[in-house]
């Protein structure tokens, strides 16, 4: 069996999220949805909640196309302080209404520890954005929030740093964590970020946590989203986080990388045959890493 002694040393201290012979994989249950349980889970919706019509129409469309979870930011971390910052509490209420109407679970971002309790009242999954991955007081507060956490990789974070953040949430009392690869910052400018596709098999080998991929923030352009989604499915990701908007050209944020309803529906249809490949790769993962090696 092939061992990777570098990984043995690099990831050995994150025991609460590590994959070991004793610990089975974490399955995060959100209502009827099980993330990491073998079924490919798609979370889809707009970058930001903009209006009642926008979020309700999107919820209906993504549910009809086979998504399991509705995404939508109410509190938005923007690169510019002059960009749309989100609807805040009103956005949370609209998400709750969309859940009522469609039965979809809700994932939405929490940026500050002060907002944790309020957002936990509305959200089914608490999203930590790339800019917050190392906000340790936020991570600690999420340890006590009573909701699963979707932890996005920092745009300049290594995988051991991502797992360190996961360990902080777990150590604070919350083992229900989903990891998300969303592209990292490299010298390449043709895409918004560089999708680190190897992150999926590495994380699934060293960690017991489910791993999903966000092709939208990785690509930065909608034309690349379906093909990156295929790649995610084929390397064995547990699901996707995808931006979808009724009229991407009018979106208040991230319209360029958002799919419209037809494009999303087509992506979901195309994806099925690639999803069928992913689970076979599970057999390969144990070959990559043996816990408790000689490092």
Size of the site for Mn ion (CB under 5 A): 2
Name which of residues 248 to 267 contact Mn ion (CB under 5 A).
254
Name which of residues 32 to 71 contact ligand PEP (CB under 6 A).
47
Please state the closest distance from residue 282 (CB atom) to ligand PEP, in A.
Answer: 26
- The window from 93-101, 120-128, 173-181, 246-254 that contacts Mn ion (CB under 5 A) reads 246-254
Is residue 36 within 8 A of residue 26, CB to CB? The reply is yes
Q: Name the residue number minimizing CB distance to Mn ion.
A: 47
Q: Select from Mn ion, ligand PEP, none the partner in contact with residue 46, using the beta carbon and a kind-dependent cut-off of 5 to 8 Å.
A: none
Q: Nearest-5° angle of CA 183, CA 186, CA 189?
A: 90
Whole-number Å distance between alpha carbons of 148 and 179:
11
| Beta strands 125-128; 105-109: pairing state | parallel
Whole-number Å distance between alpha carbons of 291 and 17:
13
Would you say 17 or 218 has its CB closer to Mn ion? 218
Dihedrals φ, ψ of 179, to 5°? -90, 150
Binding of ligand PEP by 85 (CB under 6 A): no
The DSSP element (H or E) to which 179 belongs, if any, is strand 177-181
Site mask, ligand PEP, residues 233-262, x = CB under 6 A?
------------------------------
Q: Name the residue number minimizing CB distance to ligand PEP.
A: 129
Name which of residues 147 to 186 contact ligand PEP (CB under 6 A).
152, 182
Binding of ligand PEP by 130 (CB under 6 A): yes
Is residue 238 within 8 A of residue 68, CB to CB? The reply is no
DSSP 41: E
Binding of Mn ion by 109 (CB under 5 A): no
Position among 129, 210, 236, 239 found at the interface with ligand PEP (CB under 6 A)? 129
Position among 30, 43, 47, 229 found at the interface with Mn ion (CB under 5 A)? 47
CA 204, distance to chain mean position in Å, is 14
Q: Select from Mn ion, ligand PEP, none the partner in contact with residue 147, using the beta carbon and a kind-dependent cut-off of 5 to 8 Å.
A: none
Nearest to 163 by CA among 146, 139, 179: 179
| Beta strands 33-35; 28-30: pairing state | antiparallel
| β-pair partners for 259 | 244
Applying CB under 5 A, the residues found at the interface with Mn ion are 47, 254
Applying CB under 6 A, the residues found at the interface with ligand PEP are 47, 73, 77, 129-130, 152, 182, 217
């Amino acid at each position: 069996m092939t061992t990777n002694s570098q990984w043995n040393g690099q990831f050995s201290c994150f025991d609460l999220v590590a994959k070991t012979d004793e610990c089975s994989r974490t399955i995060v249950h959100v209502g009827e949805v099980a993330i990491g349980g073998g079924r490919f889970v798609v979370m889809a919706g707009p970058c930001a909640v903009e209006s009642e019509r926008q979020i309700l129409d999107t919820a209906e469309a993504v549910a009809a196309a086979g998504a399991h979870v509705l995404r939508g930011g109410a509190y938005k971390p923007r690169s510019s302080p002059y960009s749309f910052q989100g609807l805040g509490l009103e956005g949370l209420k609209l998400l709750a209404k969309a859940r009522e109407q469609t039965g979809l679970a809700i994932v939405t971002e929490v940026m500050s520890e002060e907002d944790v309790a309020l957002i936990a009242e509305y959200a089914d999954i608490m999203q930590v954005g790339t800019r917050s991955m190392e906000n340790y007081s936020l991570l600690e507060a999420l340890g006590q929030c009573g909701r699963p956490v979707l932890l996005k990789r920092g745009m300049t974070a290594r995988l051991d740093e991502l797992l360190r953040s996961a360990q902080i949430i777990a150590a604070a009392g919350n083992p229900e964590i989903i990891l998300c690869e969303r592209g990292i910052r490299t010298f390449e400018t043709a895409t918004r970020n560089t999708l680190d596709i190897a992150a999926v098999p590495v994380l699934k080998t060293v960690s017991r946590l489910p791993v999903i991929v966000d092709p939208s923030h990785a690509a930065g352009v909608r034309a690349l989203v379906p093909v990156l989604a295929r790649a995610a499915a084929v390397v064995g990701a547990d699901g996707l986080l995808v931006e979808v908007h009724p009229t991407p050209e009018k979106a208040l944020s991230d319209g360029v990388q958002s799919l419209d309803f037809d494009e999303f529906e087509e992506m979901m249809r195309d994806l099925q045959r690639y999803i069928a490949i992913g689970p076979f790769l599970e057999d390969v993962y144990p070959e990559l890493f043996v816990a408790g090696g000689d490092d």
